[in-house]
Every structure is written in C-alpha cells, then in structure tokens.
Amino acid sequence: MKRRDVLAAGLGAVALTAPAVRSSRAQTKTLTIGGSVPLTGAAAETGLNVNNGYITAATYINDVLGGVEIAGDKYKIQLKLFDDASDPARATTLIQRQLDEGTDFFLGSFGSNIVLPTVAITERAKKPMVQTGGGSDAIFTRGFKYSFGMFPRATRQFAAASALFKTLNPGPSTYSVVYNNDAFSKTAAEGVRQSCDAAGFKRLDSFELPAKVTDVSSVLASVRANMPDMLLCVVHDQDSLLIARQMVATNTNVKLLYQGLGPQLASYREALGKYSESILCSTYWDEGVPYKDKFFGDAKKFTEYYRSKFTRPIAYHVAGAAACIETYVMAMQAAKSLKPDAVRDALAAADFETFYARIKFTPDGDGDPLTLGGMIGQVQKGKLETVFPEAAKTAPPVYPAQTWDKKA
Amino acid sequence: MNLIAQTLADGLVLGGIYALAAVGFSLIFGVLHVINLSHGILVLMGAYLALIFSEALHIDPLLCIPPVMAVLFCVGYAYQRFLIQHAVDRASVNSMLLTFGVALMLQNAMIWVFSPDMKSITPSYAFTSLKLGPVNLDAVRLSALAASLILLSCLAALLRFSPLGRVIRATAQQTMAARLCGVNVRHVYALTFAVSAAFAGAAGIVIGIILPFSPNDEGGWTLNAFVVVVLGGVGSPAGALIGGLLLGMVSTLTAQYVGPAFPNVTMFLLLVLLLLVRPNGLLGNAFAPSR
C-alpha cells in the first residue's frame, strides 16, 4: 500500500470524525453514525478496508448525491469513527462515550472479539449496530435485537464450501481442519465440522493453533502422517500465509487446500507466487456481482468511485462496510423515522437490493445464509476466480490441485 | 521415531531464531540494566529494511545483513545516547517507560509508512526443502538457523576477544572501576546498545524470511526475548542460545504432543518454575561473578 493511501484514509477518518459543522442550508440536516474501527493493532489490515468502505459510502452520498432524503428531510451523513487499536477494551470505552454523547446509530468494528463486547453495550442502550466485522456465533445467539451483521454466523459460513466439495467429481472424501484459538476461528471450525460431516466427508484431525502462530511444522508433520484429501484452514490472513509457505517447503501435498482468509489479499498471492494456484477461499463479493443499487448503480460503479478515492486494493470488506451505510439509510427511509426503535424494526424486516448483495437478516440478526452467504474463490493464473455458486461462477473449479513441485 | 526427530529438528531451528532475536535484549539488560521494551521494534525495523533493500537491489535478503546492521547500529547509538541515557540519569524505571512509549510511537509510525498489512520477504529458495534421513527441513529455516548461529558466534567472539568487547565486559562488571581506568562509560553504554540494536536488526531479517510480519508483531518479539533471557541468563550469547533453544524445543514438543494451542502455556509455566528455582537463568548473569 502506498503512503498516500494511508494518508487518504487517515485524513478521511479525521475529517469525518471532527465535530460536526451543521450545514448552513436550513433544509439539510445531519445524520450522525458512530462506531470504532481498528486502524492500528492486530486487526488493522482489514480494519482499514472496513474504514475505507464506510468513508466511500458516506462521501458518495454526501458529495455526489448531495445527501439522502428521509421522512421528507434531506440529511448528510456524519461519521464519528475512532481508532480502537484492535483493543476490545478501548472499543467499548469509545462506544460508551458516544452513547453518552447521544449517538443513536452505530457501525461495527472488525473482529468478533471487538464486535461482541461493543454490540452488548449498544444492545443494552437499545441502539442499532450494523456491522461487517463480526461473524462469531456468540454475537447472534444471545438474543440481541439491535445487532445486524452482513455475514451469516460463523457456523453457517462453510455451507457454500462444502456444497462445492460435493460437486467435485471424482471428489474428496476426507478432511482435516486447522483453526486458531479465538472466538471467530473456533466457531468457524465448528461450522466446517458441521457442514463437512453432514455432507458425508470423513474428518481425520482437528488442529487448534494458538492465537499467535510462529511455526506450524508439528501440525504439518501430523498432517503428513495422516494425509487428508482436503486441508481446511479457518485461520487469520498471516497464519494462512505461514501455513501455505511451510506446506510448500515441507512438500506437504493435499488435493485441496482451503484457507478461509488470506488468498483474497493481493499480498498473499504475491508472496506465494505460482504456489498460490488452486488454493480456495471464501469471498463475499467481487466487482462482477450482478446486483443493482439505488445509490451507486451497481458494483462496477461502486468500484470505480472507490478507486477514485483510494489506491488501496479493493476487498469484500470495503463493499460490505459501504453496504452497512446503505442498509441504514434504506431502513430509515422505510421506517420514515430516525427513532432507533423504528429503524431497528425496519432493519429486522430488511429486504433491500444493494451493489453488495440482497440484504436480509435472520431473526437473530446475522446475514441470511442464502442472500448473504459466501461465494467460493480459487486462485487461478494469479487471479481470484469465483468457482461457486453456479450463478456467480467466473471459472470452473480446479481439483485435484497439482503437487507443489509441479507448480514450481 | 520420525516424528520425534522432525519435532526436535523443528525445535532446534525455532530455538536458534529465538536466540538471535533475544541476544540484543540480553546484552542491554546485562550491561545497561535497562529493560528495552522497544526491542521488538528494532527487530521489525530490520525486517522492513531488509524488505526495502532486497527489493530495491534485487539481492538475497541475507546479504542485506551488513547494511541493515550498520543502519541499526547508528540508530541504536543515537537512541541510547540522546534518549535512554537521559531517562536513566533521572531514575532507572524511566528507561522502561521511555522504551515502552517509543515502541508505541514507532509502531504507529510503521503503520503510517508501511501500512498495517502483512509483508513477507521471499528469497529464491523460500520454497525449497532438504531431506536429512527422516527429517524434512525447509531451506529458509535452515539458512535462518545457520545465520543465527554464525551471528551469535560473531557476537561471542566480539565480546570475548575484541577491545570493544573487553570494554563492554569491564563496564558491565565494575562500572566505577572502568570509569577510573578512563573508560567513557556513556560511550560504552551507547556502543553496547548500538551493537544490540544491530543484532536485533539482523534477527529481523532472519525472522522476515520465515514469517509474515506486520507492525503489530513487535510486542511478541519483545516478550519472546524477555522469556529467553529469563530462561538462559543475562548478558551472554551463550545464555541467549540456551534459552532460545529451550524455548524452541519446548514450543515444538508441546505443539506436537500436547496440542498446537499449548506452547504458550508451557512456555510461561517453565518461566514461572525457573523464576522460582533459578531466578538468574540457567547460565546466570554473565557479568555477575566480578560484581
């Protein structure tokens, strides 16, 4: 990423978090949406994407559309986003302060470990939070009524991948799963086990890694000793790269390597080069999705506008974050009100088409598994192609993957 | 049997890297009595500089060790002379707070300059492996181990045989006596810090070719260095090597035979046990006998 990129994001955040100067035009009011994002710390890489997505949507609505009309009044969006430094304790303090200052609507941070405690605070205050950063089941199984997530809960996120595995012919029959010891990864691994066991795949091993990983040699030695057809890794970006590099170096070959997070990033694909070929991952959006949108028009126009503002490569978290703001606006328009309870009810009843996806939530607040469920991407010729579902497919899946020495 | 051999080999490699990453921390603690909480930042500076040099000059990252060490030597000298020494002059605890503050500031500066994104250094042999009997070793880890052992030996030789090493040892053992003999103690402190920073930078290169890194990782490398020093003892490359190897072995054996999620548990259990049984570490304080 270029320095200018960080500068733009930083200045954008600072500008948008500055105290509001209400428009001199009497007819334009200010709609304040608060929240925190991790611009520093462990979650900053994706946090920056989420932050850029929020800024892109708010800037477009304010500068290009001149604001939005809600219940007969014109509003400009003011974002009050602060850096939570990937620290749940700091995030809760920031959210509580904003609640005390009278903020009624919130956007989520990135990372289930941050979203969970912050959403508990907004829930208690009966203020809605729409987020694209937390997928852990714990966020959606505590009876929260004011929390809405852009992803299905973690245990439901693997359904698309296991459905893809079933379509492969001749297909895999065994799998092992690798995950981190943290809220998101553990529930995601549970989702892998549930989906794959239900689909009839035989589980050979489950490997729990610490939250911070420096070496996976021992895990790979165990994998080689009990070789599965599929190695399914639901770990974080950095750990995915470490696992893949050590797999190549130790010649640990599986027919299918799936890494939930990592291959979506250009930096991951550059670091692995030709060895990233055929690695599968989850993806929730790409600029080719066919949805229409009342603000940007479609995904391509959103991408064009984003690229005019940022040099940082676009990722699905950018689009998801922008869709959070669109969802808020459409819910407020449907509710014809800016009262938190009315907006919450409109969010619960949401069925909006956006450039990101059709937005619809389950009664527990997580994304509808059908409309907001993931797609499966595969690295092919250095590019991430969508290989599932059929409707969004840009290339057929490659299976089995070539061995590492043949990729060399 | 194969699995045990593989696990021990992996532990050896990891331990060598831990040792190199900790030796600078150990030297600073032993000579200056300063707990350098910005040690992880110096390690990461080495990794980022190696990334810049190797991409700009299209050379193997390990060949970047001399220029990176030279840059960090200068940075370390200036850092100690113009910041840390002033804090130490007022109260020794100040240096800890200062290095913690500097670590926070530099971490954010790194995010500003390099972005929070993960980076990795990929040498041409990044995906090559060697098979020694039943043991599979990847070339980057093996070269990292070799670089660690060579650098640790160089430091040991520097401390043992060179005039600079003699002055450092003399200052660490009897500061007042060294001063009476005409040693410029402040200059020696700064030189010690500079040497330590240079070795931290070299460790950063070795780490960078093995692991993806980002500015957020600095705390982890400071913590690892702290554990290695407590295990092995203060002030000597041998202590760092023993501590590092012990930590590496414990980590891989625990990961293999207890569970990959448990190395930190056993690492800190070992730390607590050693603090109870042998608080000066396995090799003790290298400079203590003369004090």
Subunit contact A210:B261, Cβ cutoff 8 A: yes
Query: Which residues 73-102 on chain A approach chain B with CB closer than 8 angstroms?
Result: 86
Between these two residues, B81 and B136, which has the higher pLDDT value?
Answer: B81
pLDDT digits (tens, 9 = 90+) for A50-79: 999 999 999 999 999 999 999 999 999 999
Between these two residues, A76 and A1, which has the higher pLDDT value?
Answer: A76
With beta carbons under 8 A apart, name residues in chain A contacting B214: 44-45, 238
Subunit contact B118:A241, Cβ cutoff 8 A: yes
With beta carbons under 8 A apart, name residues in chain B contacting A210: 260-264
Distance from the B147 Cα atom to the nearest Cα atom in chain A, whole angstroms: 18
pLDDT band of B1, cuts 50, 70, 90 = low
Q: Which residues contact B255 (CB under 8 A, 6 or more apart)?
A: A215, A218, A219, B262, B263
Subunit contact B14:A408, Cβ cutoff 8 A: no
Subunit contact B122:A271, Cβ cutoff 8 A: yes
β-pair partners for A36: A82
Residue where the block lists tokens 């670091």: A271
Burial (0-12, 13-18, 19+ Cβ within 10 Å), B141: buried
With beta carbons under 8 A apart, name residues in chain A contacting B212: 238, 241-242, 271
Q: Which region among A103-107, B102-106, B136-140, B243-247 has the lowest average model confidence (pLDDT)?
A: B136-140
Q: Are B215 and A41 in contact (CB under 8 A)?
A: no
Burial (0-12, 13-18, 19+ Cβ within 10 Å), A273: middle
* Winning range, highest mean pLDDT, from A184-198, A373-387, B41-55, B209-223: B41-55
Q: How far apart are CA A54 and CA B52, in angstroms?
A: 32
Nearest partner of B77 among B168, B191, B230, B154, judged by Cα: B191
Predicted confidence at residue A19, as pLDDT, reads: 44
Query: Which residues 374-393 on chain A approach chain B with CB closer than 8 angstroms?
Result: none
Q: What share of chain A is helix, strand, coil (3-state, %, to 5)?
A: 45, 20, 35
Predicted confidence at residue A358, as pLDDT, reads: 92
Mean pLDDT of chain B: 88
Assess whether pLDDT exceeds 50 at residue A179: yes
Subunit contact A250:B115, Cβ cutoff 8 A: no
Mutate to test the interface with A, among B17, B48, B118 (most CBs of A within 10 A): B118
pLDDT band of B234, cuts 50, 70, 90 = confident
Predicted confidence at residue B117, as pLDDT, reads: 85
Q: Between A and B, how many CB-CB pairs are < 8 A? A: 120
Query: What end-to-end distance do the CA atoms of chain A give, in Å?
Result: 27
Element (H, E) at A234: strand A230-234
Q: How far apart are CA B236 and CA B238, in angstroms?
A: 5
Q: Are A165 and A201 in contact (CB under 8 A)?
A: yes
pLDDT digits (tens, 9 = 90+) for A314-371: 989 999 999 999 999 999 999 999 999 999 999 999 999 999 999 999 999 999 988 8
**Angle between helices A316-335 and A340-348 in degrees, nearest 10:** 120
pLDDT digits (tens, 9 = 90+) for B154-171: 999 998 899 999 999 888
Q: Which residues contact B169 (CB under 8 A, 6 or more apart)?
A: B159, B287
pLDDT digits (tens, 9 = 90+) for A305-315: 999 999 998 98
Beta strands A297-298; A292-293: pairing state: antiparallel
pLDDT digits (tens, 9 = 90+) for A89-112: 999 999 999 999 999 999 999 988
pLDDT digits (tens, 9 = 90+) for A3-40: 444 444 444 444 444 444 444 445 789 999 999 999 98
Query: Which residues 231-260 on chain A approach chain B with CB closer than 8 angstroms?
Result: 237-238, 241-242, 245-246, 248-251
**Secondary structure letter of residue A68 according to DSSP:** E
What is the average per-residue pLDDT within A166-193?
A: 90
Predicted confidence at residue B268, as pLDDT, reads: 87
ipTM above 0.90, yes or no: no
Subunit contact B256:A214, Cβ cutoff 8 A: no
Assess whether pLDDT exceeds 70 at residue B172: yes
With beta carbons under 8 A apart, name residues in chain B contacting A40: 107-108, 111, 116, 215-216
Predicted confidence at residue B287, as pLDDT, reads: 65
Predicted confidence at residue B155, as pLDDT, reads: 92
Between these two residues, A393 and A397, which has the higher pLDDT value?
Answer: A397
Q: Are B111 and B118 in contact (CB under 8 A)?
A: no
pLDDT digits (tens, 9 = 90+) for A119-173: 999 999 999 999 999 988 999 999 999 999 999 998 888 888 999 999 998 899 9
Subunit contact A267:B119, Cβ cutoff 8 A: yes
Subunit contact A218:B120, Cβ cutoff 8 A: no
Subunit contact B116:A44, Cβ cutoff 8 A: yes
Q: How far apart are CA A227 and CA A246, in angstroms?
A: 16
Predicted confidence at residue B284, as pLDDT, reads: 73
Distance from the A50 Cα atom to the nearest Cα atom in chain B, whole angstroms: 13
Mutate to test the interface with B, among A11, A242, A250 (most CBs of B within 10 A): A250
Assess whether pLDDT exceeds 80 at residue B193: yes
Q: How far apart are CA A3 and CA B255, in angstroms?
A: 39
Query: What end-to-end distance do the CA atoms of chain B give, in Å?
Result: 47
With beta carbons under 8 A apart, name residues in chain B contacting A249: 126-129, 138-141
Interface residues on B facing A, Cβ-Cβ cutoff 8 A: 3, 6-7, 10, 14, 107-108, 111-113, 115-120, 122, 126-129, 136, 138-141, 211-212, 214-216, 220, 251-252, 255-256, 259-264
Mean pLDDT of chain A: 89
Phi (first) and psi of residue A207, to 5 degrees: -120, 120
Q: How far apart are CA A78 and CA A382, in angstroms?
A: 39
Assess whether pLDDT exceeds 80 at residue B260: no
Distance from the A243 Cα atom to the nearest Cα atom in chain B, whole angstroms: 10
Q: Which region among A33-37, A275-279, A403-407, B232-236 has the lowest average model confidence (pLDDT)?
A: B232-236
Q: Which residues contact A327 (CB under 8 A, 6 or more apart)?
A: A130, A148, A347, A350, A352, A354, A359
